[in-house]
Structures are given as C-alpha cells and as structure tokens.
Amino acid sequence: MHKKVIANGVPDDAEPVQAFPAPLPAGAIKGILNKYKKKVRVNFDAMGARVMISSSDNSHSISMGSITAVNSEALDDHPGYSILVRHEAWRYHDVQHDMM
C-alpha cells in the first residue's frame, strides 16, 4: 500500500519536518495524501482534544484519546518526509482514513 502512495512522489504542497518531535502547528497541515492518493489536511484542536482529517469529499473528527499510536516511516529518497499510520483504540469504518 505504501508503495502506491510513494510512487507518486512527495505532494507539491508538502513541507518537510526540520526537527523531531515537531510542535503541533497552529493551522492545518497540508500536503498529505491518504492511501487512495487523495489530498487531505489535518487540524489539531488542542482545546477539544480532537484531530480533524478533511478531504474534498468529507471530514472526520477523531478524539486524541482514541489514538493509541502513530507510526512514522521515513522515506529514504526524500529526507524530512515520512509516511504516517495512525492506530486507534477503535477503528473508524471509513477506510479512507486508516492512513493519513
């Protein structure tokens, strides 16, 4: 699955992470593709303890407490860029958001 996303290269509006761990941004993170190669943006609502994942088709709000882990797999050919996979205590049944 990762190979399909990686084959298209880094999205044109993606920004590399310069330092890790990086602080949560004030605005949306753009330049993210889901496993269907559709662009999504991620917003963090610290006050509401939620993560919002939005595409041109739909939006989903996920409780930060339900996310048990986020795996980051670095892209060897693109320093500063990674594939992220979120793991939740319960699985949301919209498979579009299984991979950010």
Please report, for residues 7, 8, 15, 67, the alpha-carbon distance to residue 59 in angstroms, rounded to integers and kept in the order given: 26, 24, 22, 17
Q: Which residues make Cβ contacts (< 8 Å) with residue 32, sequence separation at least 6?
A: 11, 14, 39, 40, 41, 42, 100
Tens-digit pLDDT profile for residues 32-89: 887 778 889 999 888 888 999 998 998 889 898 888 887 777 777 777 777 777 766 6
Give the per-residue pLDDT at 33: 83
* Residue 96 predicted with pLDDT over 70: no
Gap between the Cα atoms of 46 and 57, Å rounded: 24
Q: Given this model, what pLDDT does residue 13 score?
A: 84
Residue 87, Cα to own-chain centre: how many angstroms? 12
